Amino acid sequence: MKWLGLIGVLMIVLSAPLESAADDRVKDFTLPSATNSSLIHLSDHAGKVVLINWWRTSCTWSQAEAPKLVELYKKYHAQGLDIIGISDDTADSVAQVPNFLKRYGVTWPVGLNDQGEFMREIRPMGSGDTPGNYLVSRSGQIKYFGTDRNPSDWSKLVASITQALSEKAPAGQPIPPRKPEPAPSLALPDLQGKKITVSNPPGKPMLVNFFNAASCDWTGAAVSKLYKEYSGRGFQVIGVDLYDNDAAIQQCKAKYGPTYPILRGDQATQQAWIGENKGWAAFFVTPDGKILKKITDSISDGIEQPVFNKYAEYLLATKR
């Protein structure tokens, strides 16, 4: 009888719906739209079933999956299915994204990979291959479904979507908007030894770019071009070199001709902003001193130029 009682308890536990604490829910992320000047926020889709589709224009599997996604969206969008596409394209192919979307009739939001919080917090769940699919339930739970490479992969994904759509939306906000953190203070000497203090709030939209000789080439050209294009509209750029000698700094400057202020970083500033001993990072700061976007990684052949321009445009359009 004791065993029967124990079995009954186990059956009740196993059959009960899984409830996860709020800390287990997916966190909000922001991406620049691939098609316009807006920003895409996962939290804007809270309470819906959200399929996050990681794809690339040159991927034959992504090309084969696109028509299936379009049909899936047409069938289930009215029932609560949203799709957020994230392009894995790099500098050699990102220009093809609009043509890809038009060719297949993609109408859901598609963002560019900005190497931000999606890549830091959600992307590690996956394998890196495209197309990769992540499903977010109405309650904010996320599951990685792997790559769509064979009929069984797709069937499992569709079955999970229909199951998720049958669940009721929870009360409250299952995916709270991410609150921007205040930017740390910035008071450092410039290359001539004069102490420069950047007030907080800065009053202007701003990019703070940490770099060193080893990472100078990552975004040196992109940041210099950004400053030339947007400084006249009130966009500020500050460079912070991390521990290079004068010769190394001048070599970097000679390559890209930056005309924005470059300061000499110290460990306290590096830790306050980046939080670790990385030699490169970029922070877009609002005029009221909040960090809109933190990017601490760059990739070979990355798309910093279009991504950085989109954040600059957004900040200039929304500055108070």
Average pLDDT estimate for 183-212: 95
**Residue 319 CB-density burial (10 A; 0-12 exposed, 13-18 middle, 19+ buried):** middle
pLDDT for res 157? 97
Is 180 inside a domain boundary? no
Q: Which CATH number fits the domain that encloses residue 297?
A: 3.40.30.10
Judgement on whether residues 84 and 206 belong to the same structural domain of the protein: no
Who contacts 301 (Cβ-Cβ below 8 Å, separation ≥6)?
Answer: 90, 91, 92
Judgement on whether residues 190 and 155 belong to the same structural domain of the protein: no
Is 314 inside a domain boundary? yes
CB 52, CB 133: distance < 8 Å: yes
Is residue 252 predicted with pLDDT exceeding 60?
Answer: yes
Judgement on whether residues 311 and 208 belong to the same structural domain of the protein: yes
pTM confidence score: 0.90
Judgement on whether residues 159 and 204 belong to the same structural domain of the protein: no
Query: pLDDT band at residue 109, thresholds of 50, 70 and 90?
Result: very high
Number of helices (H), then strands (E), in the chain: 9, 14
What pLDDT digit, counting tens, does each position of 70-95 carry?
999 999 999 999 999 999 999 999 99
Domain with 44, as residue range(s), is: 20-165
What pLDDT digit, counting tens, does each position of 254-313 carry?
999 999 999 999 999 999 999 999 999 999 999 999 999 999 998 878 899 999 999 999
SS3 152: helix
Is 3 inside a domain boundary? no
Is 173 inside a domain boundary? no
Is 209 inside a domain boundary? yes
CB 144, CB 131: distance < 8 Å: no
* Nearest in space to 87 (alpha carbons), one of 32, 152, 162, 5: 32
- Mean pLDDT of the residues in the chain: 91
Is 259 inside a domain boundary? yes
Judgement on whether residues 63 and 147 belong to the same structural domain of the protein: yes
* CB atoms near residue 226 (< 10 Å): 22
Distance CA 62, CA 132 (A): 9
The total number of structural domains that make up the chain: 2
Element (H, E) at 209: strand 206-211
What pLDDT digit, counting tens, does each position of 113-162 carry?
999 999 999 999 988 899 999 999 999 999 999 899 989 999 999 999 99
pLDDT for res 23? 54
pLDDT for res 15? 37
Average pLDDT estimate for 187-193: 96
What pLDDT digit, counting tens, does each position of 5-49 carry?
444 433 433 333 333 444 568 999 999 999 999 999 999 999 999
Judgement on whether residues 303 and 210 belong to the same structural domain of the protein: yes
φ, ψ dihedrals at 162, nearest 5°:
-65, -35
Judgement on whether residues 314 and 193 belong to the same structural domain of the protein: yes
Residue 140 token pair: 């904010």
Final residue before a domain boundary, out of 131, 165, 199: 165
Judgement on whether residues 204 and 156 belong to the same structural domain of the protein: no
Judgement on whether residues 62 and 138 belong to the same structural domain of the protein: yes
Average pLDDT estimate for 181-200: 94
Is 149 inside a domain boundary? yes
φ, ψ dihedrals at 224, nearest 5°:
-60, -45
pLDDT for res 320? 57
pLDDT for res 5? 45
Judgement on whether residues 156 and 281 belong to the same structural domain of the protein: no
Judgement on whether residues 25 and 159 belong to the same structural domain of the protein: yes
Judgement on whether residues 119 and 225 belong to the same structural domain of the protein: no
Query: pLDDT band at residue 100, thresholds of 50, 70 and 90?
Result: very high
Is 1 inside a domain boundary? no
